[in-house]
Structure 1
Amino acid sequence: MTRTHRLALGLATALTAPLATAPAVAADSPLGYVNMSGAVADMENWDNGLSGVLGLGFPLDNVDPNFSIEGELSKSLFAPESDGAGNIDYFTLGGFAAYRMPVTDSVALRGRAGLVHLDWESNRAADDELGIGVGVGATWRLEGNFDLLGELTIMDTDPDLNHFSVGVQYWLD
């Protein structure tokens, strides 16, 4: 197992441990949610690419009913490109504290901040980086437990990575 894989495994364990030990909530509260999105990946000094983003969140009702913790994984699907440097393939693992602010019965704004691990590889180099991630977005209730989710996540890594994502959020009962 390489140093990068050990670091990614350690980071994933550290980020998901709080999710696994999240306190139980009242029976009428949602257990959590799953985010599934496609993202335009804007990476510093590279052309845009496309990524898949999968997230899992747990509300912390004992803190605030609108506060939650999230774990997130993203993977480049169509890698960002650069003239002369080829493609850059990457994945990220992140852990965030998120806050949801309802505006109406069906619309809510959301913000989040946390740590992100970026692991990337191009034709010329490879590296991994730990950085800060912040995001702003909104949800719109579609039907039942489904919300439409739109979000901009800015990751202060080297190279910097921004995701503009659109997808669905499914609330678990």
Structure 2
Amino acid sequence: MRRTTMKKQLMAMAVAAALATTGAAQAAGGTYFGAQLGVADVSGFDEGMMLAATLGVPADQMVPNLAFEAELGMTVVDPDRNVIGGTAELSYWYLGGFAVYNLPLNNNLKLRGKLGLGYLDVEVDAPGGTASEDDIEAMFGVGLTVPMRGTMRFITEYTRVESDIDQISAGLQFDF
């Protein structure tokens, strides 16, 4: 399907962009990359799976515990629902920019909240045809990070992508 090819191309571009910025990120210090896999919960559809890749830059010099993140997310298993004549599948992808505050709860655990704006593209394929919509959306989330080994952290997070799209995900973050 054409949509799947586009998803793969977008993910390849995100990975290439992250790799291209590695030198600059090392010079800046503290920059991190993350990847998360999770559940895509779309109102009126069965749950699907999503993948998100994040590039973050700490802004402690402005406000302690503040960071800025760019995030690319997309469905990898589309949420679906039974309709007359077959199955409707919903896919989406977004590119968002977030301000993130990491509140230390103790030496190992941080509570994080994020707020930002993102470009969201949604497509529904059904037996009667295809419909798509794109828009700029306010997005927010809350989660936890726990250090693991070296510069690696475990992250779990809830993100509200749009009023009908919620994500619950877990993954890893790596400092450059």
TM category (shorter chain) comes to 0.7 to 0.9
Following TM superposition, by how much is the alpha carbon of 1:93 offset from its aligned partner in structure 2, in angstroms? 0.8
1:141 paired residue among 140, 147, 156: 147
- Using structure 2 for the length normalisation, give the TM-score: 0.77
Any idea what SS the aligned residue of 1:56 has?
Answer: strand
* C-alpha distance after superposition, 1:49-100 (max 9, x if no partner): 0011100110112212310110000111100001115111211111100000
Give the structure 2 partner of residue 58 of structure 1: 57
Give the structure 2 partner of residue 167 of structure 1: 171
Following TM superposition, by how much is the alpha carbon of 1:30 offset from its aligned partner in structure 2, in angstroms? 3.8
Mapping for residues 153-164 of structure 1, pairs under 5 Å: 153-157=159-163, 160-164=164-168
- Using structure 1 for the length normalisation, give the TM-score: 0.78
Structure 1, unaligned runs of 5 or more: 1-19
Aligned residues: percent identity? 32
Mapping for residues 3-152 of structure 1, pairs under 5 Å: 30-84=29-83, 85-123=87-125, 124-152=130-158
| Counterparts of 2:148 and 2:43, CA distance in 1 | 34
* C-alpha distance after superposition, 1:23-66 (max 9, x if no partner): x99x8x84311110002001121111001110011011221231
Q: Report the residue type matching 1:122 in the other structure.
A: V
Following TM superposition, by how much is the alpha carbon of 1:125 offset from its aligned partner in structure 2, in angstroms? 1.0
| Counterparts of 1:39 and 1:73, CA distance in 2 | 14
